[in-house]
Amino acid sequence: MYLKSLELSGFKSFAKKSIFDFTSDISGIVGPNGSGKSNVAEAFSFALGEQSIKSLRGKRGEDLIFNGSKAIPRSNRASVKVVFDNSKKFLDIDFDEVVVERSVHRDGINQYFINSSQVRLRDIAELLASANIGSSGHHIISQGEADRILNANIKERKEMIEDALGLKVFQYKKQESARKLEKTEENIAQVESLRKEIAPHIKFLKKQVDKIEKSIAMRDELKELSLEYLKRESEYISYNENKIKKERHTPQEELNILENKLQKAKEILLKSEKSDEKSEELIEIEKGLTSIRSEKDAVMRDLGRIEGQIAYEERRIEKEKREQKELENRTVNFNELNEIAQKVYNQIDEAKEQDDLSEVKSTLERVGSIIKDFISTTFSREKDTRVDENELKNLKSKKSELDEKLSDISQNESSYNKKYSALKKEIEKDKDDSRDAEREVFAIMSRQSELRGVLGKIESTESAISHAKEDFERELQEVAILVGRAVLDYENHDLGVDTEEIANEERSIQEERRRKIEKIKIRLEEFGGGSGEETMKEYKEAAERDEFLGCEIADLEKSAESLKDLIKDLEEKLSTQFKSGIEKINREFQNFFSLMFGGGDASLSVIKEKKRKKLDTDLTVIEGELDMGEEEGEEGIDISVSLPHKRIKGLVMLSGGERALTSIALLFAMSQVNPPPFLVLDETDAALDEANSKRYGDMIETLSKYSQLILITHNRETMGRAGILYGVTMGADGISKLLSVKFEEALQIAK
């Protein structure tokens, strides 16, 4: 026996604690009408989770609580405990005794307990379903519901059959799996939506990262090229500076000596008695040439300086134009734009709440100020190159003036040189010893001219080296800004060649290196400055988020497939076991039906409900002109019966007694196929005559071998089959009381 006892406290008419101990295979509960004995059957349904208050003969939860009498005040709660012997572990829980309890309070709150631990209704339903026990169905037949299975529609009948076959647990699992599948599909849709939402941002960041990666590669390339270029240029400049210093020393020293000699020779000529016009003319020519050459040197220096400034200004203007073009085509960062947009939205939201026009105008001014500040900050590097171009124009104008002045000086120098040559020829013709001093002056001046030519070339080279040095320093600063301070260590870069080889290399090769560097610098400036660490970090986080979402979608899809497979397996299992169960029930149904009616036929069949098809359009249908036909609905169970010696076929033609016998036969058949631990039958034998009561009693004894029976009855034949009999009485106080008789003990006492 699995059912040990039932305890009622405050439930309906059982105001005080009442305990039913079920120590016999068949327990009977008897009593006069209105004593409360049917409340016992309802107590079973209540404790096992019945949710329909109407089926418990009430409208609200508080209708189930003892409402008081003249002698006893009303109760605040009702509770029912059902105690099971679980020593054979028919319930899937690790306790030898299981107490299922339910209580209801006057505020409508229900509480459920298993062994005094509060649980959910679902926990109780799943625990009992595994043992073929439920709150209602085939094993608890309340008063007046004996033929419920006959009155039910085909769908409800099918559910009752599934309950009797113990398929409820599979239904729970199927429903739970369907809920999980629906939730999983919702999660998949949400994750896919989230992934689609961040996809454009990731795409934008990917482009930025590609640019950053290219810029990093270009910086590395620029660093290598710059180290080689700077090392070679540094060696070249240093070598030539030393070379110029050495080359300048000898001619400059000789020029200084000649200058002293020339001064002495001129002094001799001035003091000479033979001083004539030619000597004076020679001195004047020498003075003029000296003055012209000094002026020419000054102009050449100014011209070299101006040319250097022009070259620098041209490069600077070109660079500023590139930067300005870059600013005009600059891509604004999404985060920056989003931040500004949020500020504008906030101001707009504030403006919506204002009724005062002046406040709205102030808000518009703030919005304009936000946008203006953003543009000013974003494009702060924008410059007007017209000022620099005017400066360049002025420099070129000065250069033109210096070129004209140099041309005039050169013409003047050429004129003096012609006079000098003519006078030199005249003096050469004169072989007089008095002309020795004059010839010496001519020789010194000739040598000075040669030396000045040499020094001029040296100065030209020196000017070129000076310009190269300025370019080198600017290049070093620009590269250091782009690739970092690592290039400042160019001196330690090993080229694998000596200084002599570097100095003698064609300058066009070095110039080609510089052009390569300039191209990379321009491309880097187009990509924008900065290391891009924040963008790289943001892209990495976004990519990891996208990858995580992708993995989550894959996991969810895998979970959904598993749930679909599980639902399919459960459906196949339900279908197989249901068909097999129907066959077994039919065999038992036929046996019990023949026993009850002395013959006849009875069977269950699986059918599909027929429904009228619905129109898919709004067409007006003229009566009789359109046959919509029928379509198959949900699957259900139909009952076919044929009584012996009568032309009665179908349930609608049965009398009340015949319906009662048929329902009893079917209920007992269902119980035989998959016997529940206990059966509660509330006056199912009320409509039976003596002959059928005896048959009913025989069937009860047969059923008691498989299930514990709790019989609520008035039938003497049925009472005689019980091992223990509980009498329920009710006094003037309206409270149900118990009296019990154990027939086995009574027989022993009688003997």
Q: What is the pLDDT of residues 236-295, one digit of tens each?
A: 888 888 888 888 888 888 888 888 887 777 666 665 544 456 666 767 777 777 778 777
pLDDT at 431 over 50: no
Q: Provide mean pLDDT across the span 166-176.
A: 81
More confident residue, 602 or 525: 602
Whether residue 31 contacts residue 37, with contact meaning beta carbons closer than 8 Å, is answered with: yes
348 in a structural domain? no
Q: What is the pLDDT of residues 32-88, one digit of tens each?
A: 888 888 899 889 989 988 888 888 888 888 889 998 888 788 899 999 999 999 998
Q: What is the pLDDT of residues 588-603, one digit of tens each?
A: 889 888 888 888 888 8
469 in a structural domain? no
pLDDT at 421 over 80: no
60 in a structural domain? yes
Q: What is the pLDDT of residues 332-362, one digit of tens each?
A: 666 667 777 877 877 787 777 777 777 777 7
For residue 28, the tally of other CB atoms under 10 A from its CB is 23
Token output for 261 = 């000699």
Question: In this predicted structure, what is the pLDDT of residue 276?
Answer: 58
Please report, as a single letter, which amino acid is at residue 230: L
Mean pLDDT computed over every residue of the chain: 80
Most confident of 143-157, 231-245, 395-409: 231-245
687 in a structural domain? yes
Q: Is 599 left (phi over 0), alpha (psi -120 to 50) or beta?
A: left
Q: What is the pLDDT of residues 205-238, one digit of tens each?
A: 888 888 888 888 888 888 888 888 888 888 888 8
Whether residue 149 contacts residue 666, with contact meaning beta carbons closer than 8 Å, is answered with: yes
Q: Provide mean pLDDT across the span 191-196.
A: 89
* H-only helix segments in 615-742: 656-673, 690-703, 716-720
Structural domain boundaries, residue 31: 1-139+676-751
Cα-to-chain-centroid distance, residue 175: 29
More confident residue, 552 or 377: 552
Helix (H) or strand (E) holding 637: strand 630-642
Cross-sheet strand order for the sheet of 110-114: 18-21, 3-9, 77-85, 97-105, 110-114, 117-119
Q: What is the pTM of this model?
A: 0.52
Please report, as a single letter, which amino acid is at residue 149: I
Q: What is the pLDDT of residues 533-546, one digit of tens each?
A: 788 888 888 899 99
Q: What is the CATH number of the domain that holds 35?
A: 3.40.50.300
Q: How far apart are CA 212 and CA 630, in angstroms?
A: 68
pLDDT at 531 over 80: no
Q: How far apart are CA 229 and CA 478, in angstroms?
A: 13
More confident residue, 93 or 406: 93
Percent of the chain surpassing pLDDT 70: 85
Whether residue 200 contacts residue 439, with contact meaning beta carbons closer than 8 Å, is answered with: no
Q: How far apart are CA 741 and CA 192, in angstroms?
A: 70
Strands (E), 67-126: 77-85, 97-105, 110-114, 117-119
| Pair type for strands 708-712 and 26-30 | parallel
740 in a structural domain? yes
Question: In this predicted structure, what is the pLDDT of residue 27?
Answer: 92
pLDDT at 751 over 50: no
Structurally, the chain folds into a number of domains equal to 1
Sort 569 into a burial class: Cβ within 10 Å, 0-12 / 13-18 / 19+.
middle
Q: Provide mean pLDDT across the span 468-496.
A: 83
Whether residue 42 contacts residue 56, with contact meaning beta carbons closer than 8 Å, is answered with: yes
pLDDT at 610 over 60: yes
Whether residue 31 contacts residue 722, with contact meaning beta carbons closer than 8 Å, is answered with: no
738 in a structural domain? yes
Question: In this predicted structure, what is the pLDDT of residue 420?
Answer: 73
Give the up-direction half-sphere exposure of residue 177: CA atoms within 13 A in the CB hemisphere: 19
242 in a structural domain? no
Question: In this predicted structure, what is the pLDDT of residue 215?
Answer: 81
Cross-sheet strand order for the sheet of 736-742: 140-141, 678-682, 708-712, 26-30, 724-730, 736-742
Question: In this predicted structure, what is the pLDDT of residue 562?
Answer: 92
Among the listed residues 609, 650, 520, the one whose alpha carbon sits nearest the alpha carbon of residue 150: 650
Q: What are the backbone angles phi and psi of residue 441, rounded to the nearest 5°? A: -60, -45
Helix (H) or strand (E) holding 639: strand 630-642
742 in a structural domain? yes
Q: How far apart are CA 734 and CA 728, in angstroms?
A: 12
Percent of the chain surpassing pLDDT 90: 15
Q: Provide mean pLDDT across the span 674-695.
A: 83
Q: Lowest mean pLDDT of 128-142, 172-186, 448-462, 503-517, name the range.
A: 128-142
Token output for 498 = 């000596």
pLDDT at 146 over 80: no
